[in-house]
């Protein structure tokens, strides 16, 4: 989804209340720069969060494997 499509999903009341036009195409250069940068930062944050979640899942799997191996070595079930 491009920035214009994301912008169009923002409620028009929020845009108007904050002095932004309801259509992306009507943004001033300064407003467009701000919106594009904010969307870029948000997308990067989501990407980092997703990668971190993948690492967490991998670590949880490793912990479970180690617990299973430890139980086997100690004779516990």
Summarised one tens digit per residue, pLDDT across range 13-35 is 999 999 999 999 999 999 999 99
pLDDT, position 24 = 96
Calculate mean pLDDT across residues 22-49: 93
The answer to whether the CB of 40 falls within 8 A of the CB of 25 is no
Query: Taking 90 as the threshold, does the pLDDT of residue 2 lie above it?
Result: yes
Give me the chain's average pLDDT, please: 93
- Tell me how far apart the terminal alpha carbons of the chain are, to the nearest angstrom: 50
Tokens of 77: 């079930």
pTM over 0.75: no
> In angstroms, what is the C-alpha Rg of the chain?
23
Domain locations in the chain as residue ranges: 3-74
Strand positions, DSSP E, the chain: none
Structure confidence at residue 76 as a pLDDT band (50, 70, 90):
confident
């Amino acid at each position: 989804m491009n920035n214009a499509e994301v912008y169009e999903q923002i409620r028009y009341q929020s845009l108007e209340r904050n002095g932004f036009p309801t259509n992306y195409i009507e943004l001033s250069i300064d407003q467009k720069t701000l919106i594009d940068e904010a969307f870029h930062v948000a997308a990067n944050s989501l990407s980092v969060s997703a990668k971190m979640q993948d690492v967490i899942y991998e670590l949880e799997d490793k912990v479970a494997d180690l617990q299973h191996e430890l139980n086997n070595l100690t004779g516990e079930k």
